[in-house]
Amino acid sequence: MTEKFTAAQWAEIEGGHEMTASEQPFSFIKDIHESRMTKDNGSSQKLTYTDCGQRLYLILLALETMRQYPDFKAYVQRYCKKTAGFELHKFYRVMGTDLYNFTYFLVGNGPAQDKLKDPESAKRMRATTKLPTAAINRYINALASGKQPVQVNNMLMAIETAVKITNSDYKQIRRNLVNFQKLTKAEKRLISTRLIFAVRAKLRSSDIIEDFEKFAAIKNLEKASVIDPEPTISTPDLSTTGAELALYRYLVGDRNLALTKKFLEQAKDGKAASANMVAAYLPAIKMIDDIVKGGPAMVQQLRAVHKRAKKR
């Protein structure tokens, strides 16, 4: 059952004061027991480990953008208060925000990755991922306390490295946020519009989307002339490092490994690949084409091998 709260209890939840009429439309989570995108109803099984990393990063970019405006710092503070308090991320929390649960999926033990779309791939990626949780916790706690966070750019860059953020638009947003107050109004609208597109594509059912879009509308930050480049599909946990990448040499040859890595990174971000990258990956494409030309029986064998590989 959904727990009922009195007006006084709601006031305490919302930071110790009753909300004014102007604040009420922007309350982040009316039902604090539920974070919508990571609710424990099977929704997380639509997400890969890579998806979780991207979405955690985008939530932090959204919070960092909103806190640049004094009249929205209170809403950022409330969200961070609901995220803070469980720094070890040992357990999935129904009452946790999406930001908390994305962190849990990324750094938790085996059961955390079992909730995702491809648990075995997620566990392999978890074993080699060094998410800067201490820096993230310091950032969240600072905002929750109404303080100015420090070394924000270093934290975001460390996350980029850890979860392999290669999208150039996301990186440009991060670079501009460091000097946000020095940007012109047009520059602020441009990077904000790119972030709005990313949030709509990747965080459509999250617990931050509604209030972030209201924020963008009130501040008139969306530029209509900018084309939306965001793919909306889930991003597979493609192997682009270590021993798994080395195995690609049996498919594409040794000399094509470097460009194959770039091809996979571009494909993961939904971006166009150069002719050289496509040419490097072409032997793998040709292999699949040969199997298709071999007829239905060979295609079925390929599908069976793929199914066994996913189970491993």
Cα dist. 93→10, 28, 84, 136, 256 in Å? 20, 17, 12, 18, 44
Place of tokens 């594409």: 252
Residue 213 shares a structural domain with residue 250: no
Residue 96 shares a structural domain with residue 130: yes
Q: Is residue 105 part of a domain?
A: yes
Residue 3 has pLDDT above 80, yes or no: no
Residue 48 shares a structural domain with residue 183: yes
- Structurally, how many domains does the chain consist of? 2
Residue 200 shares a structural domain with residue 253: no
Q: What pLDDT is attached to residue 105? A: 95
Cα–Cα distance for residue pair 261/241, rounded to 1 Å? 8
The answer to whether the pTM exceeds 0.75 is: no
Q: What pLDDT is attached to residue 35? A: 54
43: containing domain? 7-16+26-218
Among residues 186, 218, 250, the one where a domain terminates is 218
Q: How would you classify residue 222: left for phi > 0, otherwise alpha for psi between -120 and 50, otherwise beta?
A: beta
Residue 24 has pLDDT above 80, yes or no: no
Q: What pLDDT is attached to residue 247? A: 78
HSE (side-chain half, CA atoms, 13 Å) at 235: 26
In this prediction, residue 1 has a pLDDT band, given cuts at 50, 70 and 90, of very low
Residue 129 shares a structural domain with residue 275: no
Residue 183 shares a structural domain with residue 283: no
Specify the range with the lowest mean pLDDT, choosing from 58-62, 171-175, 242-246, 260-264: 242-246
Q: What pLDDT is attached to residue 12? A: 41
Q: What pLDDT is attached to residue 258? A: 79
